[in-house]
Chain A
Amino acid sequence: MAEAVLFWIFSTILVGSAIAVIMARNPVHSVLFLILAFVCAAGLFLIMGAEFLAMILVVVYVGAVAVLFLFVVMMLDVDFARMKQGFVEYLPQGLLIAFVVGAELVYVVSGWSASPKAAAAATPSGTLSNTAALGQVLYTRYFYFFQAAGMILLTAMIGAIVITLQHKAGVKRQDIGAQVGRTREAAVELRKVPSRVGL
Chain B
Amino acid sequence: MSSATPTRPDSSSNLLVALGVAVVVAAVVVVGLLWFLISGGYFAAFGRWLYTSDVGAGLRYVLVALAMLVPVLLSTAVLIYAERKIWGSVHLRRGPNVVGPWGVLQAFADFGKFIIKEPVIPAGANKGVFLLAPLVSVVLAFAGWAVVPVSDGWVVADINVGILYLFAVSSLGVYGIIMAGWASNSKYPLLSALRSAAQMVSYEVSIGFVIVTVLLCAGSLNLSDIVRAQDTRFGFLGWYWLPLFPMFIIFFISALAETNRPPFDLTEAESELVAGYMVEYSASLFLLQFLTELVAVLLMSSMTAILFLGGWLSPLPFAPFTWVPGVIWFLIKAWFVVFCFSMVKAFVPRYRFDQLMRLGWKVFLPISLFMVVLVAAVLEFTGLGAHVSG
Contact = CB atoms under 8 A, between A and B. Distances in A.
Nearest to A135: B388
B120 to A, nearest CB: 22
Contacts of B354: 174
A18 interface: no
A74 B182 contact: yes
A64 interface: yes
Interface string B172-214: 1011001100100000001001100110110010001000000
Interface string A50-89: 0110011011001110011011001100000000000000
B282 interface: no
B221 A131 contact: yes
A56 B201 contact: no
Contact of A28 (B161, B182, B197, B221): B182
A74 B167 contact: no
A68 B179 contact: no
Contact of B197 (A26, A67, A132): A67
Contact of B161 (A32, A35, A131): A131
Contact of B164 (A55, A62, A127, A128): A55
Rank and list the top 3 A-B pairs by shortest CB-CB distance, nearest first.
A63-B171, A55-B164, A129-B390
Contacts of B190: 74
Contacts of B198: 71
A134 to B, nearest CB: 11
B168 interface: yes
B161 A67 contact: no
A67 B201 contact: yes
B390 A128 contact: yes
Contacts of A174: 354-355
Greatest chain B CB density within 10 A among A51, A59, A75, A127 is at A59
B50 interface: no
Greatest chain B CB density within 10 A among A26, A52, A67 is at A67
Given A32-B129, A128-B390, A58 B168 contact: yes
B343 interface: no
A64 B194 CA distance: 14
Contacts of B168: 55, 58-59, 62-63
